[in-house]
Amino acid sequence: MFDFINLILTPIRYIMSWLLWLFHEGFSLIGMDPNSGWTWTLAIIFVTIGVRAALIPLFARQIRAQRAMQALQPELRKLQAKYKGKKDQVSQQAMLAEQRALFKSHNTGMFSSCLPLLVQMPFFFSLYTVLSTTSKAKGNNEGIAALSADHVRSFDDSSIFGAKLSDTFVGTLGSGNTNVSVLIVAIVMIVAMVASQFFTQRQLMTKNMTKEALEGPFMRQQKMMMYVLPLVFGIGGINFPIGLLIYWTASNVWTLGQQMWVIKYNPTPGSLAEKELNIRRAAKGLPPKGMTKAQAEEKAIEAEEKAQNQTQRQQPQRKNRRKK
């Protein structure tokens, strides 16, 4: 099994190490110290940007899947009410079949919103194997994938704020020669990684979800992601090299910025973010998003006529008369 996974990750490992080499050489050519930890740090950040830019089409698909999931919440609640209290196997299988058909008709699924994260994981683990084996490769005077032995030595010796990019929180504690700088940098990076991931998910739930979605079963999945994923990465982060923590934090910051742009300029219909956007557009004399000025005026006239008709249909209330 391990050999099979390694076979899959090998080409991705070469891609990640080649990108790391490419950006490192680029920054070295413009005058930065090739052995500096900051040169390697910038290379890691730009590798992150390259990977995340390549995943933009998947992010767009994720947005469509999330909105489709929110749109079908009323139908999901009807389905759950239909099978409420039915715990037998036949009923459970029937409910799952209808649920799958419902997801298929809306071209979405329970975990469609996790797709970019799942696709990014092979790149994450490939970079992890590159950065976590530099010390061993340096000792054997070997290269790693697309990195030469000189590049491996340069990376393994580089540091920021006194912490080597190849060091880990756990590795430092177990070395018998604890480097306080590594502990501090690792903790700061882990906190930044977890906080950015948590805030990204919380922003989605508070700003870019409809009322129906907030009250539906989809909300449970979102809450689980908001609390469980940062916890998992926070615990796992103590085993990550500093360089990998930089990669994942930069990736989370990219996700946060990308989502902030979507929420501000292309929010989910019916969400709080859409209401705020339409308020900003109204202040500028623009129609609501997705409507032309003529459509907005027509809708306003219809709303006014409806309000007038309701007023005309209301009868004056009479005081209760005494019975004779």
Tell me the one-letter amino acid at 111: F
**pLDDT for residue 196:** 92
Report the pLDDT value the prediction gives residue 183, as an integer from 0 to 100: 94
Residue 249 pLDDT > 70: yes
Distance CA 296, CA 259 (A): 27
Return the structure tokens found at 223: 């809450």
Please calculate the CA angle 257-12-199 and round it to the nearest 5 degrees: 20
Cα(184)–Cα(243) distance, integer angstroms: 14
Question: Using alpha carbons only, what angle is made at residue 246 by residues 38 and 259, rounded to the nearest 5 degrees?
Answer: 125
Report the alpha-carbon distance of residue 24 to residue 146 in Å, rounded.
Answer: 12
CA distances from 210 to 74, 273, 278 (A): 11, 9, 15
> What pTM was computed for the model?
0.79
Calpha distance 86→312 (Å, rounded): 48
Please check the confidence at residue 106 and state whether its pLDDT lies above 60. Answer: yes
Extract the tokens encoding 187: 């903790």
pLDDT for the residue 15: 92
Distance CA 61, CA 101 (A): 19
- Within its chain, how far is the Cα of 296 from the centroid? 34
By three-state DSSP, how is residue 179 classified?
A: coil
Is residue 305 predicted with pLDDT exceeding 70?
no
Mean pLDDT (the chain, rounded)? 83
Per-residue pLDDT averaged across 151-161, rounded? 94
C-alpha to C-alpha distance for 166 and 239, rounded to whole angstroms? 11
- Residue position matching structure tokens 């990219």: 254
Instruction: Categorise residue 319: left if φ over 0, alpha if ψ from -120 to 50, beta otherwise.
Output: beta
